[in-house]
Amino acid sequence: MDPFMQAALEEARLGLAEGGIPIGSVIVHKGRIIGRGHNRRIQQGSAIKHGEMDAFENAGRQPASVYREAVLYTTLSPCSMCSGAILLYGIPKVIIGENRTFMGEEELLRSRGVELEVLQDASCVGLMRDFISARPELWNEDIGE
Amino acid sequence: MDPFMQAALEEARLGLAEGGIPIGSVIVHKGRIIGRGHNRRIQQGSAIKHGEMDAFENAGRQPASVYREAVLYTTLSPCSMCSGAILLYGIPKVIIGENRTFMGEEELLRSRGVELEVLQDASCVGLMRDFISARPELWNEDIGE
């Protein structure tokens, strides 16, 4: 597996081990991870710390020039909030672990010129499928349902 | 002024007094403020704590049924990240202080059925106009430019 998607998957597994929703993300600039994170809804009682948002937060304040050369990796198709953050900062490319268990705002992102690559990685799918079947109420809460 | 927009404006002024970007927001459910917040980029070195995001965070984990009856007030037209959060949680109505100094994703929100009201409030406009002219580099950073 791509080492950056591997890092995002490690974040997702770390979240699961903490009792959280297993979604992870890393932001890569010039071949280096500048921010990594995972969903913290359960751990921090957070409504905004999706995996991608946590990665943005942990990357800290970056100049626009960095975001515009960055690639965001996420184990799951990004929801509207995370897609909005991707658009806000002008991230040009997003690598998505899978979109089988949840389809985010891929159409919107593509329509705004963001390049997407969907891996349909079996580990990413398995992690979410198991979590959703074990804790459907937590998953629904996380996607506003 | 509407007391809820007044509360959002107080949040914006609180942010300014802290040395931050003066944008505030409150989330109202059944006539009661359940979350309030302001932009924390400078104060917390945060890339994700826009005023609306901070209000979502401070409202904590809410059931979908609450979001679907909530009204979000924000002193400034919501950017793509904050608009994405509004869509994620299915907030049906957003009251916007002004969109003269920054036009956010109002078209996208309307196209998804969100009701918007733009007040063009002179206090909201003045607060942002003064800030942008005093600290253009901070403002540009906040909108990914």
Convert the pLDDT of each residue in B83-122 to its tens digit.
999 999 999 999 999 999 999 999 999 999 999 999 999 9
Query: What's the pLDDT tens digit per position in B24-69?
Result: 999 999 999 999 999 999 999 999 999 999 999 999 999 999 999 9
Predicted pLDDT at A51? 98
Predicted pLDDT at A97? 98
Question: Between the CA atoms of A95, A108, B21 and B115, what dihedral angle is there, to the nearest 10 degrees?
Answer: -150
Predicted pLDDT at B9? 98
Chain B residue with Cα closest to A65: B145
Chain B residue with Cα closest to A59: B47
pLDDT at B1 over 90: no
Residue position matching structure tokens 């924390």? B40
Q: Sign (positive/negative) of CA torsion B84, A89, B56, A11? A: positive
Query: Would residue A11 show up in a list of annotated catalytic residues for this protein?
Result: no
CB-based contact B88 A67, cutoff 8 Å: no
CB-based contact A81 B79, cutoff 8 Å: no
Min distance A70 CA to chain B CA atoms (Å): 13
CB pairs under 8 A between A and B: 90
Predicted pLDDT at B50? 98
* List of chain A residues with pLDDT < 50: none
